[in-house]
Structure 1
Amino acid sequence: MKGTVQGPLKELISWVEDIKYKNGSSAAALYIIKDNQVLLEHYSGRHFHGKDASNITEQSQFNVASARKSYLGLAVAYALHDKYISSLDDPITHYFPEFDKDLYNGTTVRHLVTHSHGLDIDENGYIFRKFEPGTKWEYCNVGVDIVTKLIHRLYGKGFPQLLNERVFTPLGFSETGWRTEPDENLVPIIDRIDKPALPGLGTSLDGTEKNLFVSPKEFALWGQLHVQKGKMNGRQIVPSKVIETATSIQNVSYSDSSLPENGLFWYVQDITRKKSELGERVPAGSYQIVGVTGPTILIIPAYNVVVAKMYNKRYNYGGDHYLYYLREFSNKVADLFS
């Protein structure tokens, strides 16, 4: 739906626009699918701060930053389905025998895809252990990097190529891809509003860099593929079991009940958890993923709703309290359809 919007949807747009302004983002988009129908399309702002910047349109593609992990998670689910990985509980050293046995002892694929591996990296690129695997939760890209290498080792190709063959091409996606060359439709990243915008491009197409750009529509359709268990336009594009594996809770139980639950990188709702990105009014079974530049894909199967929200400002609004605003957004969406 384009044009005049009234009522609760208008209030949600106002909230999105308010955060855009407060955080210094130059761009915003909001795309909602409900019951397999487009309920809302909203595009605002410019590709960067400046009078010569292009307006945001439905063709604009945003760098989705860490939200690319949802794509990597599907590749892991495929590797399980294809028997390249026998179990999420396989030790990672089974696939990387060259890894330091002492450092990686007890670390499994499950730990890597649920942010419970306990590994970190210092400014010199040295990987070290912060806590024993499976005992705590902490976001760290070390796990993402290892899983990216794992898929390449298993398939002999990067996960972007795997997904292009199995998902993007069958769906006709043309506005989703790891970009290495400038294009007028690519939205730059605002680091500081008083500095030139960053292109967000990479040097490789293999998924090792954060150079995935997606249009709001195809970001929402990515979510729609999940809520429909891999089926689109009457065709089973992705096996339903692959989707279920990626989006169901996969982490071990933590002694700290405030820690978030994860599927294959997705944040998954079971009960309300203080450190989760999902608000307390979001139904169980919902899942979400967010990037540092603001892109959010929220899926609420109980309401058959998919919401794609886009910004282009590093970092998510709120400073140390950023979780409050992520949770507030998901609560506002849940309230719309409850």
Structure 2
Amino acid sequence: MNTLFSKTTKAVQNTYETLNCSGGSLIIYHQNQLAVEQYWGKQSNKEDAKNIQPHTKFHLASCRKTYVGFAVAYAVMNGYIDSIDDDITKHLPIDKQHPLYKGTTIRHLLTHTHGLKLHNDGVERVFKAGEDWGYQGINIDILSEILQFTTKKTIAQIVKEEVFIPLQFKETGWYNQFDDSFVEVIRPESQPHWTAPINIDGSGMNMYASTREFAKWGLLHLNQGMLDGQQVIDPLIIQLATSFQSPVLMNPDLPDNGFLWFVKNSPAQRSEIGEFVPDGSYQILGYTTVTLLVIPQENIVAVRAFNSFGNPEGYNYLRDVKDFGNNIMLDIKQAIGV
């Protein structure tokens, strides 16, 4: 175990032992050097399950939204979308329009301030766009439709062409067929096993990645589109996706967002980023508790991955994910004697 990040490693192992999961992993890059690579447990609860390995693919859940945000930033930088302050009705086909969409911008979708929600009878408006914050999956559905209409490509096609192929990613993608390199998402005994959608256009919750490739995705952001000395992605796309984009909200404790990333721009109480983590950092958390944190000020990329689904009773996910970043900062401060 790397002694520099001993507190963080122990904390992540404790989270692994707390969650309803069978396996976990942790990778930390510091100053672009691999500092920690740790794996725990097995890919499922089955007796013959394989150990968690470097190529094991974890379910990303909402962490996939970093790729959706990238696709939107790509569309903006390449002129397919004029402005994220455009009303979403400007970039949707007639058959995808809804009366409640009017007054909602792409910025609202990207920062969870759109106020829309899906229910059994269709779409409802929970609050006026730009006046509150709410985490609802409808924004991904609409962004997917906007991208297909404006670029004539799916999210998955954009990401494959712009990211997976140039970076030679072989362990990341949207999948509808699985082999023995995938974890089984562990749900409470009272619930059925996780089933992924058949659709692989990038709009669904069926994205998986190995911890090592997800960490490389973070490194690509830390280094403004460069990886292994090569400029792979336009740095302006990275900057756009990871910079503060939220509208001014009445409640200062609501989270700050970039292009679906959570960004550290204020001491907002409902932020998922730790109190000790410096401004300018950005993070994403999935329902499987997979987390990617980038701290540019300290040149750190950290990924933790588990195969849980949801939170066991008594587990405070917000406190736990905040402490993921806090422990990293405490380890850094201890190392320099602060």
Q: TM-score range by the shorter chain?
A: over 0.9
Q: Structure 2: how far apart are the matches of 1:161 and 1:207?
A: 8
1:152 alignment counterpart: 148
Aligned-pair identity (%) = 36
- Residues 298-337 of structure 1 mapped to structure 2, 5 A cutoff: 298-316=293-311, 321-337=316-332
Q: Structure 2: how far apart are the matches of 1:209 and 1:22?
A: 28
The answer to whether the Cα contact below 8 Å between 1:272 and 1:279 also exists between their aligned partners in 2 is no
The answer to whether the Cα contact below 8 Å between 1:135 and 1:255 also exists between their aligned partners in 2 is yes
Q: Structure 1: how far apart are the matches of 2:113 and 2:191?
A: 36
Amino acid across the alignment from 1:254: L
Deviation of the 1:110 alpha carbon: 0.4
CA change 1:261–1:246 in 2 (3 A) is: same
User: Are 2:60 and 1:84 equivalent residues in the alignment?
Assistant: no
1:187 alignment counterpart: 183
Q: Structure 2: how far apart are the matches of 1:27 and 1:101?
A: 43
Q: Structure 2: how far apart are the matches of 1:31 and 1:201?
A: 26
Gaps of 5+ in 1: none
CA change 1:326–1:112 in 2 (3 A) is: same
CA change 1:131–1:320 in 2 (3 A) is: farther
Q: Structure 1: how far apart are the matches of 2:45 and 2:315?
A: 25
Aligned length: 332
2:32 alignment counterpart: 36
TM-score by length of 2: 0.94
Amino acid across the alignment from 1:169: I
2:59 alignment counterpart: 63
User: Are 2:287 and 1:296 equivalent residues in the alignment?
Assistant: no
Secondary structure (helix, strand or coil) at the match of 1:57 reads coil
2:277 alignment counterpart: 282
The answer to whether the Cα contact below 8 Å between 1:145 and 1:208 also exists between their aligned partners in 2 is yes
The answer to whether the Cα contact below 8 Å between 1:48 and 1:197 also exists between their aligned partners in 2 is no
Deviation of the 1:13 alpha carbon: 2.0
Amino acid across the alignment from 1:167: V
Q: Structure 1: how far apart are the matches of 2:30 and 2:77?
A: 29
Deviation of the 1:321 alpha carbon: 3.4
2:101 alignment counterpart: 104
Amino acid across the alignment from 2:268: R
TM-score by length of 1: 0.94
Deviation of the 1:319 alpha carbon: 5.6
The answer to whether the Cα contact below 8 Å between 1:247 and 1:263 also exists between their aligned partners in 2 is yes
Q: Structure 1: how far apart are the matches of 2:128 and 2:217?
A: 34
Deviation of the 1:80 alpha carbon: 0.5
Q: Structure 1: how far apart are the matches of 2:149 and 2:20?
A: 40
1:220 alignment counterpart: 215
Q: 1:240 aligns with which of 235, 238, 260?
A: 235
1:272 alignment counterpart: 267
Gaps of 5+ in 2: 334-338
> Which has the bigger relative contact order, CA under 8 A and spacing at least 6?
2
Alignment RMSD, CA only? 1.7
The answer to whether the Cα contact below 8 Å between 1:19 and 1:317 also exists between their aligned partners in 2 is no
Amino acid across the alignment from 2:64: R
The answer to whether the Cα contact below 8 Å between 1:178 and 1:202 also exists between their aligned partners in 2 is no
